[in-house]
Amino acid sequence: MLITPTCVLAIFASHPLFDAYSQSGAWMQARSLCVPGNVLDGISFQIFGPEMFSGMSTMEDQQLGGIIMKVMQEIVYGIVLARIFFAWFTKESLKVDPLPANLKESR
């Protein structure tokens, strides 16, 4: 349940939450963490953030990320609950019910 507020915040925010995706300078600085600085020198892009990799806007990308996180959370919770339920059900179904007391006396 801890990830739910993060998903809701990402899905329903009215503006991009991360400056690295919405400001050109911050995007270049974030990219420099993965790509050596000398490779990035002289490269200037007119687009930055998620638009560089897909046609989605920054907000659409953020909302899609929140939706994917929430769906994955629900799938994991469903699998865990199903495993717990079926383990319990199997354990309970292997037990033999004792005869009622009034049937024992009539024998």
CA dihedral of 62, 67, 70, 74, whole degrees rounded to 10: -160
In whole angstroms, give the CA distance from residue 42 to residue 39. 8
Q: Kindly report, residue by residue over 62-93, the tens digit of the pLDDT.
A: 899 999 999 999 999 999 999 999 999 988 88
Q: Where are the domains of the chain?
A: 4-97
Q: What are phi and psi of 83, to 5 degrees?
A: -65, -45
pLDDT at 40: 62
- Prediction pTM value: 0.64
| pLDDT computed for residue 103 by the predictor | 66
Kindly write down the DSSP assignment for every residue of 43-83, as one continuous string. ---S--GGGGTSS--HHHHHHHHHHHHHHHHHHHHHHHHHH
Give the pLDDT confidence score for residue 85 in this predicted structure: 95
